[in-house]
Structures are given as structure tokens and as C-alpha cells.
């Protein structure tokens, strides 16, 4: 037995087929790379990333070592919300390519044994969707209007919105239309921007539209779906709409809110599951559902979507205790739902994690009027980081080196965990949030609808730097959001030639991960506790993260596979993760 207590050492050089590309449960342990298509790579030079751009980078993705890509929406859209306002669910935005380009991309990725996941946006369409235009044209009480949520206004002539509900992006959740006869008319509901009218899921046409959409993409070879705001579809608005202060708290009074996390939403996913299971292998789905932890398992159930994002690691500050708690909780949830865990450090909606982790949180909290809290009462780092942007991104509160050091340690820890890991494009390059964006260059509706209260999400959506010295850092066209000069040091070509780069750390880690055995469980290692997170996988691989500020003596007997910083002989530096493997007998 080694010092770390690992006595079972399987052959580390085999990758079991279970969980591999050809198996039905490929998703359980998959590393999924999120592509935000407009900002990934621009093949036709028009300044917007496109599907051919993804195809051109297929080898990059393969060499990175991921198992799947998830593409944020690439459908026709006026981009009122970065593509999450869909005009047509079964086509490609002409600026991003064509269905033929889509097929070519799937072919290129599948040829490299990379699965393809696309985004489904079922809570709302865009106001340019054919059915919404028909609904407005057809007038009150029509079948067409019933596909969306229209209500008469309050006040003498309906001039007041049906309720005072606010949209997630700020401003009212209702917008008034002009009726076909030119008179001011009814109001439609939109939880998000006014260009995103909510579907009425009590209408059978809406059900059919989405079943058709799922089959359309599944028939084209799509392997899985990411479901946008999965907890909002089912609604029971009642006759009398209550004021927002009288709305139930969806995190405490379960299933009673008129639109968040109602129990009936699961009937929709049971219907979808039957459609997913028509395919061999069954198509997969992952829910974006911001619900109470006790309610998440239902979204992830095998009768429903099958998997749900856990967002804990977007919210919690970088401490051993926070990570230990999140790991325990998520593995418990996965056990309850029968799904596998999901680990997410960044996505297109939050401040990038090297910036979040570099913030001087104590001083920042002192400068904020209100302490941002998670539902469980801890500090919400993701909200705090947004507040930092609002303060004008003061550099004196950001230690970039520390942020990246911690980000690398966190990613390596996450990649050692059972379950699937989601990597947002640019994380592998160690990109920070871009703060150098003028107000007139911004695109995000949460910035425009919340003047002075939200800087928006553009800073994590800036086109990627591919080549250090090329025009637009090799993005391929004039970048639609400004790329800062410091991108040069993070360009993919620069990082590839630097053995200590973040990109090379990801590549080494993902290559090593392929040798791990699929696992759904872990054990805590003997060093676990205090500032150290020490996990032991069933195959004997270990991951040790030193969250503290003093170096840590590593146990003897392990072979270092990869580390997030260079080791100082047998010492694990502060804010560093190392993976260890044990030699098999006779080697
Ligand atoms: C969640 C998506 O991740 C976000 O980008 C979008 O703005 C909203 N849903 C609305 O679709």
C-alpha cells in the first residue's frame, strides 16, 4: 500500500469502451467544449464567427482532447440576445452558414470522434419568428395568438401592463402590440428581452414544433441538446395576475410560482424523452435550470432530460471548503437522479473564472453596498464579479496572475472528478474577462435594459485569439467585439509553443483523462481537510489541490501526471493541483 492509502491499481493504459464515443452513455463522463459560434472562428471574413469556422478548427478541438462540443445558438436571429432569440429553429443563420455547412461540420467532428450538442431555446422564440408575426397579425382571441402569452392590459383602455412583473434582463416583462387595425392592443409576456416572446406551452402546436425541431436535428446527426431556461416553460398565470411582491419565492414555495420550476414542466420533458429514445443511441439532453438544489434531480432524471447543469462552481469563491461542499453535494444529486455530475467553471453568461478568482473579494465586498449571496447564504462570486465590472473594473482589486493560477488549479481538480466537465471556449487559453469594451460597442440586452445596473456579458464573448501576430489575432474577420492587446499573450499559437501554457496544461490533462477509468464515485484521500482537497478515484488516480498559501509536502510513491504549476521538487505550491498515478506492479 502506498502512503496515500491506494491499494488497488488497475492498468492505467486502457480506456474502457464504456463511456467512449460509440457507447450510449458517452455523455456521462464527457468533456464538453462550449462554442459560442459568433465568437469562435470566422471562416468567411465577415466579422462573425461561423460554422465553417468550427469545421476549420476541428483538428484544434481534436488535439485539445475533448469528447463533445456544445454549440450555442447558430439559428437565424436578429441577435437581440446573442442568438437566444430564434427566428427559425430549423435553419442556420445565413451569416453563420447553411445547413450544408452544418452537415459538413458534424461530419468533420464525428470523423474525429467528437459528439455534437446543440442548444434548444424552448421558453421563447424571437419576435421575428413566423408564428409570432402571425400572432400579432391575427388579432386577439385567434388560434395564432394562443401560441404565445397575450393578455389584455389593465387600466381604462388597457394601457397598463397585465402585471408589474420585471423581465430577467430588467424592464417590464410585458410589451404592448399594435393591433391589425392600428389601435394599441394586447400585451405579450417575455421573461427576457421584448424581442423574446414566451411560448404558451398549453398549446399543442408548440409541443409539435419542438418535437419536430428535436427530430430535425437528431436526424442530421446531432447527439444531444442543451435546454435553455428549462425551468420556465410550464406556466400557470391564473386569471388575476398578482403583483410581483406577492409572487411566491420559487426557492422556498416549490412548484407554486406562476412560471419558474412548476411541476408540469416535467410532462414536457417526458414527451421529449420519448422522442430522444427513438434514436440509437438515444439523444441526450442537459438542462439549464436555476432551481433549488432539491428540485434539480427531476430535470436530470432518466425519464426527463437526463442531466442538469450544476452551477455551484460559478458562484463559490476559491476555497477548499467551498469545493468540497460542491463536490459532495453534486455527487449526491447525481446519485439521486441517476445522472452524472456536471462541472462548470465558466460559460457565456458569467465573468470568466480567471478574473473571478483574481478579485480581492474582501476589499470588493467592503466597497459594495450589499453583499451578494447565493441561495445557501454564501458569497456569490459570480454576482460579486458583475458588481466589480459595474464599479468600472478597478485593476487594484484584480490580481491577474493569482486568478489564472487558481483557475488552472480549479480546472485540473474539476477534470479529475467523476462526471462530465463543461469547458467554455477560451478557458483553455486562460482568457480573462475583457473589460476594455466601450458602452457603444456593447451588444448584450442586459446592459441596455439595466442602465447603470448591469455591464452585461459581452466581456466573455469576445472573439478568440488564434494567432499572436495576425490581424484580429487570426479570428478571421474584423472582430465584432474589441479584442484587447493582452490577447496576444493568450493566442492559441503562442500558447502551443509554450510548454507551461494553459493550453498545454489542458491538452496534457485531457490526454491523461482518457486513460482514467470511467467512474461515478470518488473517495477522499488522507490529505483532504483544511486547505487541501484530495480525491482518490476508483482507478487509484489521485488529485490533490492546495488551496492554501504554504507549499504542501506531496505523498511518496505517486507518479506526477500533470500539475497546474511547476512543482518544487516534492512540494505542491500554493493554489496548485497535481494528479498522481501509481505504478502498476512490475513496471
Ligand atoms: C440562458 C442563456 O444561457 C442566456 O445566454 C440567455 O440570455 C437566456 N437563457 C435567455 O435565453
The pLDDT score that the predictor gives to residue 584 is 56
Query: For residues 409 and 106, what is the distance between their CA atoms, to the nearest angstrom?
Result: 32
C-alpha dihedral sign at 280, 286, 291, 294: positive
Nearest residue by C-alpha to atom 4 in ligand 1: 349
The pLDDT score that the predictor gives to residue 474 is 98
The pLDDT score that the predictor gives to residue 503 is 98
Question: How far, in Å, is the centroid of ligand 1 from the Cα of 40?
Answer: 18
Q: Closest ligand 1 atom to the C-alpha of 446?
A: 7
* Closest C-alpha among 283, 297, 290, 276 to residue 224: 283
Q: Which residues are catalytic?
A: 228, 288
The H or E element spanning position 321 is helix 320-337
Contact 410, 357 (CB under 8 A): yes
In words, the CATH class of domain 130-189 is: alpha beta
Query: For residues 40 and 55, what is the distance between their CA atoms, to the nearest angstrom?
Result: 11
Q: Closest ligand 1 atom to the C-alpha of 123?
A: 11
Ligand 1: residues with CB < 6 A are 81, 84, 121, 192, 228-229, 288, 348-349
* Mean pLDDT taken over the chain: 94
Question: How far, in Å, is the centroid of ligand 1 from the Cα of 392?
Answer: 24
Contact 6, 542 (CB under 8 A): yes
Query: For residues 440 and 77, what is the distance between their CA atoms, to the nearest angstrom?
Result: 21
The H or E element spanning position 507 is helix 502-513
* Closest C-alpha among 281, 322, 507, 292 to residue 415: 507
b/e per residue, 156-189, with b = 16+ CB within 10 A?
eebeebbbebebbbbbbbbbbbeeeeeeebbbbb
Question: How far, in Å, is the centroid of ligand 1 from the Cα of 416?
Answer: 28
The pLDDT score that the predictor gives to residue 518 is 86
Residue with C-alpha cell 511518496? 556
Query: For residues 177 and 172, what is the distance between their CA atoms, to the nearest angstrom?
Result: 14
Q: Closest ligand 1 atom to the C-alpha of 81?
A: 7
The pLDDT score that the predictor gives to residue 346 is 98
DSSP, res 314: H
* Ligand 1 pocket, mutate which of 197, 349, 454 (most atoms under 8 A from CB): 349
The pLDDT score that the predictor gives to residue 18 is 67
Question: How far, in Å, is the centroid of ligand 1 from the Cα of 229?
Answer: 7
pTM across the whole model: 0.95
Domain ranges of the chain: 130-189
Q: Please report which residue ranges of 94-248 form alpha helices under DSSP H.
A: 99-111, 130-138, 204-219
Residue ranges in the chain whose pLDDT is less than 70: 1-18, 583-587
Amino acid at each position: 500500500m502506498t502512503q496515500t492509502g491506494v491499494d488497488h491499481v488497475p492498468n492505467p493504459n486502457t480506456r474502457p469502451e464504456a463511456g467512449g464515443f460509440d457507447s450510449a452513455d458517452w455523455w456521462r463522463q464527457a468533456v464538453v467544449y462550449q462554442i459560442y459560434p459568433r465568437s469562435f472562428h470566422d471562416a468567411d471574413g465577415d466579422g462573425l464567427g461561423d460554422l465553417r469556422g468550427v469545421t476549420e478548427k476541428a483538428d484544434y478541438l481534436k488535439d485539445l482532447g475533448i469528447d463533445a462540443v456544445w454549440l450555442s445558438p447558430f439559428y437565424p436571429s436578429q441577435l437581440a440576445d446573442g442568438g437566444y432569440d430564434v427566428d427559425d429553429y430549423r435553419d442556420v443563420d445565413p451569416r453563420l452558414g447553411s445547413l450544408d455547412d452544418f452537415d459538413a461540420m458534424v461530419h468533420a467532428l464525428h470523423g474525429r470522434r467528437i459528439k455534437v450538442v446543440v442548444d434548444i431555446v424552448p421558453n421563447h422564440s424571437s419576435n421575428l419568428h413566423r408564428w409570432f408575426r402571425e400572432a400579432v397579425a391575427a388579432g386577439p382571441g385567434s388560434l395564432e395568438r394562443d401560441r404565445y402569452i397575450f393578455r389584455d392590459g389593465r387600466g381604462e383602455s388597457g394601457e397598463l401592463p397585465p402585471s408589474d412583473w420585471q423581465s430577467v434582463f430588467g424592464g417590464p416583462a410585458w410589451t404592448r402590440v399594435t393591433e391589425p387595425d392600428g389601435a394599441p392592443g394586447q400585451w405579450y409576456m417575455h421573461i427576457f428581452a421584448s424581442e423574446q416572446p414566451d411560448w404558451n406551452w398549453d398549446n399543442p402546436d408548440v409541443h409539435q414544433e419542438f418535437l419536430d425541431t428535436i427530430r430535425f436535428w437528431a436526424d442530421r446527426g446531432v447527439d444531444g441538446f442543451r435546454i435553455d431556461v428549462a425551468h420556465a416553460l410550464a406556466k400557470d398565470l391564473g386569471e388575476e395576475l398578482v403583483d410581483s411582491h406577492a409572487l411566491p419565492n420559487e426557492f422556498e414555495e416549490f412548484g407554486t410560482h406562476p412560471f419558474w420550476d412548476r411541476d408540469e414542466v416535467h410532462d414536457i420533458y417526458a414527451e421529449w424523452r420519448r422522442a430522444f429514445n427513438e434514436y440509437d443511441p438515444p439523444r441526450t439532453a442537459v438542462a439549464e435550470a436555476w432551481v433549488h438544489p432539491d428540485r434539480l434531480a427531476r430535470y436530470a432524471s432518466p425519464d426527463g432530460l437526463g442531466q442538469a447543469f450544476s452551477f455551484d462552481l460559478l458562484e463559490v469563491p476559491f476555497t477548499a471548503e467551498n469545493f468540497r461542499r460542491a463536490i459532495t453535494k453534486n455527487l449526491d444529486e447525481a446519485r439521486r437522479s441517476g445522472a452524472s455530475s456536471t462541472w462548470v467553471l465558466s460559460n457565456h453568461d458569467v465573468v470568466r473564472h480567471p478574473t473571478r478568482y483574481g478579485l480581492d473579494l474582501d476589499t470588493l465586498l467592503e466597497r459594495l453596498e450589499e453583499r451578494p449571496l447565493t441561495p445557501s447564504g454564501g458569497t456569490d462570486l459570480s454576482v460579486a464579479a458583475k458588481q466589480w465590472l459595474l464599479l468600472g473594473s478597478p485593476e487594484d482589486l484584480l490580481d491577474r496572475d493569482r486568478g489564472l493560477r487558481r483557475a488552472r488549479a480549479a480546472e485540473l481538480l474539476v477534470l479529475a472528478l467523476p462526471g462530465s466537465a463543461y469547458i467554455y471556449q477560451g478557458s483553455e487559453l486562460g482568457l480573462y474577462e475583457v473589460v476594455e469594451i466601450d458602452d457603444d460597442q456593447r451588444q448584450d440586452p442586459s446592459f441596455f435594459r439595466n442602465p447603470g445596473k448591469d455591464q452585461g456579458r459581452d466581456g466573455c464573448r469576445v472573439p478568440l485569439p488564434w494567432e499572436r501576430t495576425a490581424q484580429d489575432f487570426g479570428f478571421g474577420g474584423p472582430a465584432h467585439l474589441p479584442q484587447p492587446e493582452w490577447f496576444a499573450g493568450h493566442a492559441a499559437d503562442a500558447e502551443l509553443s509554450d510548454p507551461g501554457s494553459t493550453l498545454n496544461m489542458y491538452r496534457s490533462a485531457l490526454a491523461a483523462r482518457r486513460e482514467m477509468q470511467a467512474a461515478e464515485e470518488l473517495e477522499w484521500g488522507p490529505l483532504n481537510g483544511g486547505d487541501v482537497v484530495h480525491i482518490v478515484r476508483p482507478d487509484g488516480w489521485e488529485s490533490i489541490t492546495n488551496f492554501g498559501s504554504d507549499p504542501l509536502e506531496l505523498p511518496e510513491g505517486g507518479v506526477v501526471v500533470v500539475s497546474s504549476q511547476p512543482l518544487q521538487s516534492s512540494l505542491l505550491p500554493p493554489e496548485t493541483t497535481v494528479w498522481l498515478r501509481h505504478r502498476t506492479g512490475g513496471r
